[in-house]
Chain A
């Protein structure tokens, strides 16, 4: 497939057939994971800068592993070691990075729209690894890819996203992508953690987790940022865990084949019971594995784009 996009800013910009092309490419890379030598020379000589202005373990490592498996040179830059801490603007940081002539920049930033800001100013591909509350397209792609691998087709399935929707870029991107792939999406969380315009989203909204769980095929738990309590959005964590934390009694109401996902890192005992995080229906570690191959697919498609044009 001829890949025409320069940047990956949001799943909104991808067509369904492009998503399937990403899945197909990721599927091909999966086989590589099984080999003793997990490396191919596909992107040899190409360079990727991992610019993480916000803390991250799994996404950054996942991109790093993905790049290295394709033989790309990856360079990490964290906010703490960048000139952003000296007051340098994002524009100047971007132009400095550009001058080093990378083929792609993977960016995570605490401001919504930061990836778009870079993409408008840089010639190389910009891949959004999470911007503020806006979008986390690679997480949504790996989540759907994980379900796609389980089910063969996501269309017609019902997926519940549970927890802090208002502050979650993972939820935003997943709602868009799951709808695009034909799934029906439910949302459940306290009203204080739902965006005010949630009723305009293509989702069914629940405040009762028991009702929300009835007949679902998969549930995606979101990490609760514990400081939300201090912001007055929750009375206390115990009440949250009892009311919106996923427990076995909720899972019993779902489709018997229900799958459980969590983008990590997890607060065990808060948004998900520890038993469920480790149970046979949990896809949490499959998500991590999928993350690597989906990101390999993305780096491959975006970084070989010019050669195919």
Chain B
């Protein structure tokens, strides 16, 4: 038997009280807890009353460094991830300069090593096209070699189907999946509000759901034609999930994510008396009507949507405290994702199996990242969670530099108390 480095005592796992044994950064075994134990040289962590959960993976994060460090930087983003329960995060390429050269990727990774040497692990996503211009392919071989785990033009969808097709083909040469931000740029730009009754009353230019669904259908057809996987980012509406379900039934290699806010919020928030025109809920794609929210939940539960991601998009307070038209799109999400989605499990909206798949197994399997199922040999990536602890979302309680969330002032339940990555305590 390998030498045990860490024993986490009396943690609750799947309803049972267990001791978790860790050796050399990996799960050695998980055993029913016993009263007394000879720990030997191992470090012992008491977890009585706390729930052990496998660390989560977020495949869609904006860290803003380089270029917009005042919104977030690698250090603060990883801090939010560590306290949010994430062991792996993938960060998008829309930095300044864009992550379309190896030196930008290397800078991100160097910052991560410098500030968080024990994790959370950072996996940069390279640009699909140079400067996110949609015109010339980015040097994906170089980017993959430097450490990019995937490619995406997130935020600036590629207009040309021909360029997009070539990008998917070329990325597959380096075993990297392309993540597409589904938005037909001719049908709807990022106005941050759904086209419908609410936008028509508020008088805001709006984005119709077909702008998303049109691009989803394009990507499905291309994935089928090329027989190459494509991952669809932040799916928000019924039309899209219907298309994805149909595609999966035909065996098309499509995977897709949605975010906690599409599971919990609707466009009605933007015309409620207290929150009318609240720019903290301006997000792209926009919050949709209730029927779409329910369709997205159903699709996540039945596996049509593979995983969850936060689309963590931090912005500075002064950027959001402006007129709705002027404000940037985005909600900060790393800090709140766990509490929000675990509440959905408590409420019976999501099953626990869905939660586990959506935050751990599916994202890791899509992007070939390490995953912990609490099986011997798995990476010892897990956190101890106080399910009952209530906390109020406020600028002081968020670890991210971005405080832009419509949840400000809301009381959430459940907080990470300790987080281990590869058996090392990071918070």
- Residues in chain A within 8 A of chain B (CB atoms): 89-91, 109-114, 116-117, 131-135, 169, 172, 195-198, 200-201
Contact = CB atoms under 8 A, between A and B. Distances in A.
B195 interface: yes
B200 interface: yes
Contacts of B409: none
Contact of B197 (A111, A117, A131, A200): A200
Contacts of A111: 323-326
25 contacts: A89-B318, A89-B321, A89-B322, A91-B322, A109-B323, A111-B323, A112-B203, A112-B324, A113-B202, A113-B276, A113-B325, A132-B325, A133-B204, A133-B205, A134-B204, A135-B203, A172-B201, A172-B203, A196-B196, A196-B208, A197-B196, A197-B199, A197-B201, A200-B200, A201-B200
B68 interface: no
Contact of B277 (A89, A112, A133): A112
Contacts of A196: 195-196, 200, 208
Interface string B126-141: 0000000000000000
Contact of B203 (A117, A134, A201): A134
Given A112-B277, A116-B276, A198 B322 contact: no
Contacts of A114: 323
Given A89-B318, A113-B276, A195 B325 contact: no
B197 A197 contact: yes
Most chain A CB within a 10 A radius of its CB, from B322, B323, B324, B325: B323
A13 B303 CA distance: 45
B206 to A, nearest CB: 8
A169 B277 contact: no
A203 to B, nearest CB: 12
Interface string B183-197: 000000000000111
B199 to A, nearest CB: 8
Given A111-B326, A201-B200, 15 more contacts: A89-B318, A109-B323, A110-B325, A112-B277, A113-B277, A113-B324, A116-B276, A132-B325, A133-B203, A172-B201, A172-B203, A196-B208, A197-B197, A198-B200, A200-B197
A114 B322 CA distance: 9
Contacts of B326: 111
A205 B318 CA distance: 42
Contacts of B324: 111-113
Contacts of A135: 203
B218 to A, nearest CB: 22
B269 to A, nearest CB: 14
A112 B318 CA distance: 19
Interface string B242-277: 000000000000000000000000000000000011
B315 to A, nearest CB: 14
A111 B321 CA distance: 14
Most chain B CB within a 10 A radius of its CB, from A135, A172, A195: A195
Given A89-B321, A112-B324, A134 B200 contact: no
B317 to A, nearest CB: 10
